[in-house]
Structure 1
Amino acid sequence: MARVRMSDVAAVAGVSTATVSLVLSGAGSHRISAQTQARVREAAEAAGYAPNSVARSLRTQRTGMIGLLSDTIATTPFAGRMLAGANDAARTHGRLMVLVDTDGDASRERQAIEALTGQRVDAMIYARMWHQVADAPVGLPQGSVFLDCRPSRGSWPTVVPDDRDGGAAATRELVAAGHRRIAYLDAPKSAGLIASALRHQGYLQVLAEAGITPDPALHVRAGTDAEGGRAAAGELLDLPAERRPTALFCFNDRMAMGAYTAAHRRGLRIPDDLSIVGYDDQQLIAAELDPPLTTVALPHYEMGRWAMEVALGEREADPAEPHHMRCPIIRRDSVGPPPPWSGDR
């Protein structure tokens, strides 16, 4: 079947080929009436016209492709919403996102950057699965957007979750319910996680606002999986009644899942005897626990969309200052008032 040409569209719409070119390229939006533009687009769609992308890229020096380089986002379910947000933004603006996962391997990153620049992508996004400091890979074009990671050097447009505010939101939820003995189940210090320190800062901030003196015994570190959460929660729940926490703020939902197990093994009911708040709103965990877990959501979708809009030039960003995306509280059924034995009611 013969390829539909621009002149064919012009004949159907009753306009010149030049007018069709201006309308379909977007260059004539201020010079051609809305009625004529609509007629041209309807004619192009009816005729099945597809622009010659190669010729267009040679003319405009733009390919309409954005490269997204990540460590393991595409191969793990946890942060996949970042990809959905970035891809939706690209599609909204008529662009194509090209994704490459490298497992964080420096040589693979260099190869991927060479391949993407060889394909003449219009811009690049450099993403990591969790909030961390990252070195810019060799050859990463200046102006590339950092997603869910902070550059170790230089100024780059950057978006990260506001983990300090998220830690404050989790703690504030428990304070609002009447709790005063609130424990923080934290990640190991050796892990060096940015989010760990920031969430702890938010926790301390809200305790201070509420006039609650922090108890060092209620800040416990353990592995960030269910086993770590179970062990840390068990240690706290075995304290004498006067020192035992009535509420737990967990570094992530997997630790919260382990805390549920520790509570159930001791005959404690959630939230009647113990309130728990998690972090991440992790798929297949938070909403599936019994009772469903109140948690803080990582704004993966919103961060992905923000990064793509900056890469496309649809949104402005200050390369000198990371953009902190708010982490909202997701209320479910794991928070209630303190139990009667605590004396806090």
Structure 2
Amino acid sequence: MAGRKRQTATMWQVAERAGVSQATVSLVLNNVGGSRVNDATRERVMNAVVELGYRTNAFAKSLRSGESGMIGFISDEVASSPFAGRLLKGAQLRAWESGNVILSVDTFNDPNLEAAAIDMMLSYRVKGVVYASMYHRAVDVPAELQAIPTVVVNAQDRAGGVPSVFPDEEGGGYAATRHLIDAGHTRIAMINIQPPESDLPAGIGRLAGYRRALAAAGIADDPRLIRSGTGVVEDGFSFTLDLLAEADPPTAIFCGNDRTAWGAYRALESRGMRVGEDCSIVGFDNHDMLAPFLDPGLTTVELPYEQMARQALGILLSDAPDNPPHTSVECSLILRGSVTSAKVRA
């Protein structure tokens, strides 16, 4: 026989159990400041709440107050990505710390699904929306989001009207290249993750950081040491073989992402060379399913997914009228075994 549906306790029942009025229960549960409810009465009310398993009607409360305690999180496919999902994790943790919860939808770049998600979130009276991207790019924020506080994360609002939080790609490229320079390398190649004509901020910034580090160290920028790939393992493999065939091959390679670095590992192995000992490699992303498990472990630059999300939530929940339009977050260098001191060539 099917079990009977459990009856939901009411505020009247809580009041009866605690021996107080429903108004007193409401004052306690809503934590109304300045109310004359003494500590003993408050304790009796809370004990009755626990004993009866009473739950407030969050929807009704949102209708009265105009606030739902929810924050919208709209993304292309962040929640279903194996590593960009840390954006959602950071947002959830920061929201929970402030007494809020995240209402998340992946739209998979479907404009109809995105429009429906925005309409749903507006109907739920979310406090604001985090508009997120799986990879760093310029985005067009939907006009419907102008009605509520919105922050773009891991991307930049093309129009510049919405606060944006994104990784410091150039700083990451500089840190990666500087680390190789500090290890004594002067013939440093770069395999980028996009063609020169691409307008994506990631590859543009990482290449700019590479060049800035060389210039700061007084090392000439040799165009023969730069290759433009698409961020896949196969590019890392073929371009590394190409670079090793140069008359004066590099002793180190900065790869624009960890998948490219994996391809570079495979290329060196195919030539009977050892990563670190014969050629140092640095990646970008700190892909946790890849970078620590290569042999040797890959020194790489970490994309600050959780930090970006936390900063975005901080801006969204801030009462400050003038939030920064652009906030770049540092990309940290993660040291492993793929970089060693440069060997002196005869």
TM-score relative to the length of structure 1: 0.88
Among 330, 333, 336, the alignment partner of 2:334 is 330
What amino acid does structure 2 have at the position aligned with 1:309? G
Deviates more, 1:67-76 or 1:294-303: 67-76
What amino acid does structure 2 have at the position aligned with 1:116? M
The CA deviation string for residues 93-149 of structure 1, in whole angstroms up to 9 with x for no partner, is: 332212111121223322221222223322211111111101112412343111111
Structure 2 counterparts to residues 182-221 of structure 1, below 5 A: 182-187=188-193, 188-221=195-228
1:121 aligns with 2:134: no
Among 285, 288, 297, the alignment partner of 1:283 is 288
1:298 aligns with 2:337: no
Quick check: 1:157–1:317 contact (8 Å CA) kept in 2?
no
Which residue number in structure 2 is paired with residue 321 of structure 1? 325
Which residue number in structure 2 is paired with residue 83 of structure 1? 88
Which residue number in structure 1 is paired with residue 33 of structure 2? 28
SS of equivalent to 1:185: strand
What amino acid does structure 1 have at the position aligned with 2:325? E
**65 and 28 in structure 1: CA distance in 2 versus 1, 3 angstrom threshold:** same
How many matched pairs?
339
Among 122, 128, 152, the alignment partner of 1:146 is 152
Query: Percent identical across equivalent pairs?
Result: 41
**36 and 336 in structure 1: CA distance in 2 versus 1, 3 angstrom threshold:** farther
What amino acid does structure 2 have at the position aligned with 1:86? A
Which residue number in structure 1 is paired with residue 68 of structure 2? 63
What amino acid does structure 2 have at the position aligned with 1:155? G
Tell me the distance in 1 between the aligned counterparts of 2:18 and 2:177.
62
Q: CA deviation at 1:29?
A: 8.0
**24 and 292 in structure 1: CA distance in 2 versus 1, 3 angstrom threshold:** same
SS of equivalent to 2:79: helix
The CA deviation string for residues 211-270 of structure 1, in whole angstroms up to 9 with x for no partner, is: 222212112112210001111111111112xx2111111100000000001111111111
Among 171, 175, 180, the alignment partner of 2:177 is 171
Quick check: 1:156–1:319 contact (8 Å CA) kept in 2?
no
Quick check: 1:159–1:307 contact (8 Å CA) kept in 2?
yes
SS of equivalent to 2:287: coil
Which residue number in structure 2 is paired with residue 233 of structure 1? 240
TM-score relative to the length of structure 2: 0.88
1:157 aligns with 2:163: yes
Q: CA deviation at 1:162?
A: 0.8
Unaligned runs of 5+ in 1: none
Tell me the distance in 1 between the aligned counterparts of 2:39 and 2:196.
61
The CA deviation string for residues 267-304 of structure 1, in whole angstroms up to 9 with x for no partner, is: 11111111100000113111111111010010111212
Q: CA deviation at 1:159?
A: 0.7
Quick check: 2:76–2:132 contact (8 Å CA) kept in 1?
yes
1:181 aligns with 2:187: yes
Quick check: 2:174–2:206 contact (8 Å CA) kept in 1?
yes
Deviates more, 1:39-48 or 1:104-113: 39-48
Tell me the distance in 1 between the aligned counterparts of 2:312 and 2:106.
17
1:244 aligns with 2:249: yes
Tell me the distance in 1 between the aligned counterparts of 2:283 and 2:109.
28
Tell me the distance in 1 between the aligned counterparts of 2:35 and 2:223.
65
Tell me the distance in 2 between the aligned counterparts of 1:28 and 1:10.
20
Quick check: 1:277–1:293 contact (8 Å CA) kept in 2?
yes
Quick check: 2:282–2:298 contact (8 Å CA) kept in 1?
yes
Quick check: 1:226–1:256 contact (8 Å CA) kept in 2?
yes
Quick check: 2:62–2:125 contact (8 Å CA) kept in 1?
no
SS of equivalent to 2:135: coil
What amino acid does structure 2 have at the position aligned with 1:328? S
